[in-house]
Amino acid sequence: MRWYSYRWLIERYHFVLKSGCGLEKLQLETGRRIEMALATYSIVAWRLLWLTYQARLHGEESCESFLEEHEWQSLCATIHKKSPPPEKPPSFREAVRMIASLK
């Protein structure tokens, strides 16, 4: 019964892996390439899912708890197409929304 309680989380993980990372769109021809892509994208999907849930819990906190200064500054510059980046880091929720818009 305990494992069944994780069903929704597992489904969300697979959704992020397939849709968010575009895993199904890859046209890889060898088993080794599929294996390597799956290993990489699995980490990315887990991180995106974790960030999504953390943003719900700690949305107003600074994004510096999960992004280094140069990372959030690069993210802001990429999204807003201006420089210099803001002096104050965006909130956790804002940073996750910016990351989601990169797709």
Query: pLDDT band at 86, cuts 50/70/90?
Result: confident
**Can you name the residues that pair with 62 across neighbouring β-strands?**
91
Task: Render pLDDT for 48-62 as a digit per residue (tens, 0 to 9).
Answer: 999 999 999 999 999
Specify the pLDDT at position 90: 95
Task: Render pLDDT for 7-50 as a digit per residue (tens, 0 to 9).
Answer: 988 899 988 888 877 887 888 889 899 899 999 999 999 999 99
Query: Given 3-state DSSP classes, what are the helix, strand and coil percentages for the chain, each rounded to the nearest 5?
Result: 70, 0, 25
For the chain, the structural domain boundaries read 1-58, 61-103
Residue 49: name the closest of 91, 19, 84 by CA.
Answer: 19
Phi/psi of residue 84, nearest 5 degrees:
-80, 165
| Residues counted in the chain | 103
Specify the pLDDT at position 75: 92
Strands (DSSP E) along 19-77, which ranges? none
pTM: 0.75
SS3 103: coil
